Amino acid sequence: MPCRTMLQALVVPVVALAILANANQAEARGCIKGAAVGAVAGHVAGHHALIGAVTGCAVGHHLAKKEEQRQRQLRQQQAQPQSPQNSGQRPAPGSAAAAV
């Protein structure tokens, strides 16, 4: 068995176990899509599909977390009532804020 094949036979199960041991539903968000794209890119770039998949998973997870955080901030901003002074809008004529 050549050294490269033996190394692949050891690395693939170890990486798979490491990913599965740390994976839960929240952490898997973005990983599947990133891993698929990374595997294809790694394969095309020189038959490094496994490295591409691992890197793609990490990048996909990071981007999904950033998007989730952005969505959370957007929901918080929409949930806060905006007063006319803070929003940059003029108060409606006849309102209490217009009389001040």
- Provide the b/e sequence for 50-89 (b: ≥16 CB within 10 Å): bbbbbbbbebbbeebeeeeeeeeeeeeeeeeeeeeeeeee
What does the pLDDT look like over 83-93, one tens digit per residue? 555 555 666 66
What does the pLDDT look like over 49-69, one tens digit per residue? 888 888 888 888 888 889 999
13-17 contact pairs (CB < 8 A, 24+) = 15/50, 15/54
- What 8-state DSSP symbol labels residue 48? -
Q: Which of 93, 73, 72 shows the shortest CA–CA distance to 84? A: 93
Does residue 24 surpass a pLDDT of 60? Answer: no
Domain ranges of the chain: 29-77
Q: What tokens appear for 58 in the block?
A: 């990490």
Does residue 75 surpass a pLDDT of 60? Answer: yes
